[in-house]
Amino acid sequence: MNTDTQDIMVEVAYALPSKQVILPVKVALGTTAEAAIQASGILTKFSEIDLAVNKIGIFGKLSQLDIKLRHLDRVEIYRPLIADPKEVRRQRAAEGKIMKKGGGDIAE
């Protein structure tokens, strides 16, 4: 039986409007994103994080909690958006604000 376990280093990141926290965590090879988040202790520092609600990603790409991590992965915990970008664009259009668009009329 092989008792050697290969450890990897990962980061767990969470950002608030005023600050960003990145916690380095040493975990065993094959550890899931959820296990790394738990091991980082970030859930005790930020009680508003709810893994049933907050989405996560690896380097900006949405991922599932059960994804197995690789060495130097960064697990990012995302906050809900304050405003829907599509709704903000609709409101600007309704208020008559000019939105920059490319091109223009072609002279014939």
Give residue-wise pLDDT tens across range 50-101.
999 999 999 999 999 999 999 999 999 998 766 677 777 777 777 776 555 5
| Residue 1 confidence class, pLDDT cut points 50, 70, 90 | very low
Span 10-16, average pLDDT = 96
> CA angle, 7 as apex, 3 and 8 as ends, to 5°?
160
* Residue 27: C-alpha distances to residues 77, 90, 101, 102 (Å): 18, 45, 48, 48
| Residue 7 confidence class, pLDDT cut points 50, 70, 90 | very high
Span 17-27, average pLDDT = 94
Give pLDDT, residue 53.
92
A 10 A CB-CB count for 89 gives 12
Distance, CA of 48 to CA of 80 (rounded, Å)? 11
* Residue 23: C-alpha distances to residues 2, 91, 96, 108 (Å): 30, 38, 45, 60
> CA angle, 71 as apex, 69 and 51 as ends, to 5°?
35
**CATH 3.10.20.280 assigned to 7-89:** yes
Three-state DSSP state, 72: coil
